[in-house]
Structure 1
Amino acid sequence: MPIPQRFILVDDNEADNVYHEIMIRRAGFTGEVHVFESGADALAFLRVDELTVPTCLFLDINMPQMDGFEFARQARPLLQDKPTMLVMMLTSSDAPQDRLRAGDMPLIRGFVTKPLTRERVREMLQTG
């Protein structure tokens, strides 16, 4: 995966989104950060986006209407052949069954327990 030039946060918790965007910025990232409070809104964006910019999408598990697993299921046809997209769970869940389920989904390439740290973002920005 190339170094991310854009981040997408998909989380229904506004405070978490604000905090995580701050951590992304404090890590030195100056590019685009898109925030969506629902999986449906994020899917709508991905359907019209060209998906050519190296992007890291952080996805919460526990959201109303469409949880992170359902989002990943629906987004897979859009993203599965896009080497520029990195989809990672970013969740407060530390349940082993959630980690295993995420690991079984081909679209999900990582699992990060909240809160996101600037050190974790710096790692991503240095190694891609």
Structure 2
Amino acid sequence: MHYIQRELLLSPYRRGFHLITDDIIRAMPELATLQQGLLHVFIKHSSASLTVNENADPTVRGDFERFFSRAVPENEPYYQHNDEGPDDMPAHLKASLLGCSVTLPVTAGRLNMGIWQGIYLGEHRDRASGRTLVLTLHGS
């Protein structure tokens, strides 16, 4: 059983949902050496999230952003935490709803996802710096 762990710094993204599957695969070339295993991806931030969903039609990304912006709106009078602006608390809520990690199976040197699945970064801030991911690969 092999374990490999490294951090991946993503470039800053604008607010929205962004496919990062290829970034992760490039950062973890050892994927190709495993017959079976797991890749765990964790984001080290509380105002961005990770999820797996449809990777082919770009309108899905816009629909995700519109849905979450309506479900968790800015400037609600009951928010107390707004030190960094009106997107501060909504970003934390969206990140909690979607989650901070994904775990994916590895089979025959590749991520074993459905043909229409990809890994998304949910960027929930208007002005975010780059985001850091911890990639942990294990298998044989």
Q: What band does the TM-score fall into relative to the shorter chain?
A: under 0.3
Could you tell me the TM-score, scaled by structure 1's length? 0.27
Point out the structure with the larger helix share.
1
Structure of higher CA gyration radius: 2
Could you tell me the TM-score, scaled by structure 2's length? 0.25
Point out the structure with the larger strand share.
2
